[in-house]
Amino acid sequence: MKIAKVLLVLAAVSALFMTTARADEISDWNRNLFEAARLAVPPTSPLAVTRNAALVQSSVFDAVNGIERRYTPVHVDPAAPDGASKRAAAVQAAYAMLIRLYAPQTAALSAKRADSLAAIDDSQASIDLGIAWGQTVADAIWNWRLTDGITPAPAPFLGGLNVGQWRPTPPGFLSGAGVQFSYMTPWVIDLPSQFRPAGPPALTSDRYTADYNETKTMGSLNSTSRTDDQTLFSRFWAVSTANAYWNQIANSLADKEHFSFSRRTHLLASLNLAIADAAIGCWEAKYTYVFWRPVTAIPLGNTDGNPATVEDLSFTTLLVTPNHPEYPSGHSCVSGSAGEILAKTFGAHKKLTVSSDAPEMAGVVRSYDGFSEILQEIKDARVFAGIHFRSACDDGQELGVGVADYVRANALRHVRADQADDDN
């Protein structure tokens, strides 16, 4: 497999890449979504972004689909009034959901809404109908997902002190995050446990031995085996959310292939629903297996019953360990689902470039020869950051692929078979 190359370019060029020429209201408000998540105080966590992005993109999809009536809906049956502007409906649906999620940014989002609506060529009557319909859809999806399990917040989860068991990790020693995602109502899949992997390898197995020693060698803060590029990409894939990266990739490819308004709407809804359900499946597995993190396991290596896992009391990870159980890897779960959706849409071997919306990565553009290269690098990044074992990344990616294939087969389907070749 070809190693992904890093191109260091001027920050201005990266900024231009991130703000490509305006395609339509769908891509505009998709970017507004991730900007709002990044600017939130504190920034929205990668896990919470999976739900927020699904809320926004499903609202946009059902708003547009309610007018065009091409697909089975996410939740809201197509019932838009005749003559409603699909562009206005998309804008209002996104805006209405975002101001619920990011109320402190209402003024900025309202200004963007005004600009978007002013650019629509439809008659004012059509725009007004579209706005009303978009609001109706966003209201319905918001109310639907209020009962998905996101509230009330569960009691703090502290794991346990048994060998192999997760417990709060340094430096913050925080309780387990996102417990409610482990039992949250999925968007498309039937149950959170539907794609649960087999579990982490036994502590005395050869596979765990290999995993342990790889992370111990490659994931240490002061590793002499990790290259500068490996350090860079480990940081690169951690400074923003997986959703932000994959939506950027999706929009870039849709631009290159001149996707229609409808097709882009369908793509972003499919992508973010798959990511959201992969996160739910992943967190169900995390809180089923409750497996310890390398930052715990490696200093306690002499307690695990495996003579080949020698402890390192001074082990410190390259990146701060997230506060939830290790197996499977969340990034690999959601990236596996995203990569599968996009590979099945665009082909597995597209040449790809990826930049980050995080200021600390301004000027860094990474290049790949296909989705498999990105997914391999993401798995490597979690191991080389010291925060995962290899099995968690391999099994997480497999979970994500399974979820994505299920979403493709069961959601947002064409209502007429003769449409499939035209717009999907």
Query: Each residue of 142-190: pLDDT tens digit?
Result: 999 999 999 999 999 999 999 999 999 999 999 999 999 999 999 999 9
* pLDDT at position 167: 98
18-32 exposure pattern, b = at least 16 Cβ within 10 A, e = fewer:
eeeeebbbbbbbbbb
Q: Which residues contact 305 (CB under 8 A, 6 or more apart)?
A: 163, 203, 204
Give the global pTM: 0.93
Residue 218 CA to residue 225 CA, distance in Å, equals 6
CA atoms within 13 A of residue 130's CA, in its CB half-sphere:
27
Segments of the chain scoring below 70 in pLDDT: 1-23, 419-424
Residue-range domains of the chain with CATH: 5-423 (1.10.606.20)
352-354: strand order across its sheet: 5-8, 364-368, 352-354
Q: What is the pLDDT of residues 288-335, one digit of tens each?
A: 999 999 999 999 999 999 999 999 999 999 999 999 999 999 999 999
Phi, psi of 47 (to 5 degrees): -70, -50
What is the distance between the alpha carbons of residues 18 and 407, in angstroms, rounded to a whole number? 28
Read off the tokens for 403.
Answer: 């979820």
